[in-house]
A and B are shown apart, each in its own frame.
Chain A
């Protein structure tokens, strides 16, 4: 199993550009989520999904869209990038939505918005 994979690893955008961060898992996990990690801020939840076709907002959803058409994939879309979205983005998955489940994290995508 590859676990949780994220692409790209690094990305530089100009303000106003759009892009999609890809996340895929091959563990047949129901629950997937996106976090951003900023210095001194820990991990903050952007969006999450408890199963295919079901998504919901987390703590910091503004400026981001998600969809979950398959169990395996959970892409994160930046509609119009802003410098405040410069961050490291982590995708995670777990077997179910139960919070005591182990969260498996991808290696992260480092995004710089100029």
Chain B
């Protein structure tokens, strides 16, 4: 059973469109992180959310942590080809040293 379920698994959109990626779990997390990974490279942190209901914005990216700290979403406004990549959510349950990753959402933004 996957602790963190990401959806959709694949997403192909035109430049300028909006999109939302989801990260869901039945478990409560002390924090959730979003990473972006480009081919041939390691993941790079985009944001960390730690408070239930928290919303963080990073330019055209908006991240939300669910009130119950069981889910998170990533919304991209006016997607650009540079947004193409694999988006991964990751979290750890309270008291755990182990970071668990979702399977990722592969995003392709077509010019």
Residue numbers of A with Cβ under 8 A of B are 4, 31, 33, 35, 40-45, 48, 50, 56, 58-59, 90, 92, 97, 99-100, 102-103, 105-108
Number of A-B pairs, beta carbon distance below 8 Å: 62
Residues of A within 8 A of B31 (CB): 99-100
Docked-complex contact B42 and A99, CB < 8 angstroms: no
Which B residues, 15 to 59, have Cβ-Cβ distances below 8 Å to chain A? 30-31, 33, 35, 40-45, 48, 50
A26–chain B nearest beta-carbon distance, Å: 16
Residue in B6, B92, B97 with the greatest tally of chain A CB atoms within 10 Å: B97
Residues of B within 8 A of A43 (CB): 43, 88, 90, 101
One of B6, B50, B88, B101 near A100 (C-beta < 8 A):
B50
**A40 to B, closest residue via Cβ:** B103
In the assembled complex, the Cα of A59 lies from the Cα of B92 at a distance in Å of 13
Residue numbers of B with Cβ under 8 A of A are 6, 9, 30-31, 33, 35, 40-45, 48, 50, 88, 90-92, 96-104
Q: Which 5 A-B pairs have the closest CB atoms?
A: A105-B42, A99-B92, A42-B103, A100-B31, A43-B101
Q: List 15 A-B contacts (CB under 8 A).
A: A40-B9, A40-B103, A42-B6, A42-B101, A44-B101, A50-B97, A56-B97, A90-B43, A99-B99, A100-B33, A102-B48, A103-B33, A105-B43, A107-B41, A108-B42
Residues of B within 8 A of A50 (CB): 97
Docked-complex contact A59 and B98, CB < 8 angstroms: yes
Residue in B33, B42, B97 with the greatest tally of chain A CB atoms within 10 Å: B42
